[in-house]
Amino acid sequence: MTSDALRINFDRLQQDLEHLASIGRREDHGIYRMAFSDGDMAAREWLRGRIEEAGLEYHQDGAANIFARLGWDGSHASVMTGSHMDSVPGAGHLDGALGVLVSLECLRRIKELDLPLGRPLEAVAFTDEEGRFGGMFGSQAVSGRLTPESIYTARDLDGVTLTEAMQARGLNAMDALRARRTANSIHAFLELHIEQGPVLDRNHIGIGAVDAIAGLFRWQACFLGAANHAGTTPMDMRNDAFQGLAEAAGEIPRILEEDGSARSVATIGRVELSPGAANVVPGRADFSLEVRDTDPSVLDHLSQAFRKSLSAIARRRGLMFEFQVVSELAPVKCDPGIVEAVGAAARDLGAESLVMASGAAHDTQMMAGLTRAGMIFVPSKDGRSHSPAEWTPWEDIELGANVALNTLYRLAR
Ligand SMILES: [Zn+2]
């Protein structure tokens, strides 16, 4: 371990994490900070206070993204770091919040050490990453992906529009179009986040250097057969839609092995059989299929392989196979220089790191379209997330924050 590696003030970070974890928490121990809810607004107000106490410049853009700035002069490209403070309903205390508070602590530490900076620093808390109104609203705004239509039509599950929710907080949703940043105003973007998966925890490795974020395609699909009497229809005279689906599910490992990569995953997460009675042969099996990988050409191959394989199953069983693509998200590559910088920062701190993919979507996915971007993962205990059971040991948080600080300083020096 080299002694010149920078260190964050861990006690201060710990206090901030514990305080933020109390905002929006309910009796079930879950955190409720959905975008523009009371919990979210209280967290925003608290964060503003912390930024001002630290003597950093506070800025809020048109998408209600909150920034702390150090050395900002509006003319030099900044190094930006951050994540989100909003949550899913019943969330844990670290998803997003950890990245925001580590970012704030990094800027505070660099300021109090009076370290020379070659570039301004920005710590950001993005709006609605978790998707009350669709997801990654703040980072989409910054990376210029919003349109007046996408803002106007965004609504939550209760039918509340984004426009109404922002208006209730004194904000104009259309101002989000003005949050767009130019590519040359940001030199690099770094996000620290909990892994939300079991890989680091299982391997007892403290740091993940994320080299890619998986993309996906999602199908709404169905096998169509014929509903019939379950007692009188002999097995060889059935067109059982569920039998087709069961065979398809069993084929998943083979398809991934033959046409995917080591990073491919596929999930049938929702199934509905019709008519849906114990004594009726199912005539129809509707299901979702979601496939993820970090390589666009692998996703293409997999899409063709699933199409071929499921059509063949249908033919053999006298069924019809139909599907509709309901969403597609392109994979994103992280900047190799940032992946390297994360690994080097971990080495300087005497820690092991693992180059790995992110299976979950993050704000970095949007920011990577605008600037060089990278992510640091810290372990999630048992891979748990989006639940109050979400946990990362304090020593892993401290290490992750120190890696973030040293990576950030490398990028901004
Ligand atoms: Zn998150």
* Ligand 1 centroid from CA 242, angstroms: 36
* Ligand 1 centroid from CA 22, angstroms: 18
* Ligand 1 centroid from CA 288, angstroms: 24
- Does 169 score more than 70 pLDDT? yes
* Ligand 1 centroid from CA 308, angstroms: 35
pLDDT tens for 277-319 read 999 999 999 999 999 999 999 999 999 999 999 999 999 999 9
- Does 215 score more than 90 pLDDT? yes
> H or E stretch including 44?
helix 38-53
pLDDT tens for 319-373 read 999 999 998 989 999 999 999 999 999 999 999 999 999 999 999 999 999 999 9
* Ligand 1 centroid from CA 208, angstroms: 15
* Ligand 1 centroid from CA 34, angstroms: 12
Is there a contact between 165 and 36 (Cβ–Cβ < 8 Å)? yes
* Ligand 1 centroid from CA 40, angstroms: 14
Per-residue pLDDT at 4:
84
Per-residue pLDDT at 3:
58
Per-residue pLDDT at 20:
98
For 49-63, what is the mean pLDDT?
Answer: 98
Is there a contact between 36 and 166 (Cβ–Cβ < 8 Å)? yes
Exposure on the CB side of residue 2, measured as CA atoms within 13 A: 9
For 144-148, 314-318, 384-388, which range has the lowest pLDDT when averaged over its residues?
A: 384-388
Give percent of the chain above pLDDT 70. 99
Average pLDDT, the chain: 96
- Does 272 score more than 90 pLDDT? yes
Q: What is the CA radius of gyration of the chain?
A: 24
**Residue 396 has what DSSP assignment?**
H
* Ligand 1 centroid from CA 386, angstroms: 9
Q: Among residues 312, 323, 301, which one has the least CA distance to residue 257?
A: 301
pLDDT tens for 115-143 read 999 999 999 999 999 999 989 999 999 99
- Does 2 score more than 80 pLDDT? no
For 66-72, what is the mean pLDDT?
Answer: 97
* Ligand 1 centroid from CA 377, angstroms: 11
pLDDT tens for 174-214 read 999 999 999 999 999 999 999 999 999 999 999 999 999 99
* Ligand 1 centroid from CA 111, angstroms: 27
* Ligand 1 centroid from CA 269, angstroms: 21
Tokens linked to 259:
């046409």
The span from the CA of 1 to the CA of 194, in Å, is 24
* Ligand 1 centroid from CA 360, angstroms: 9
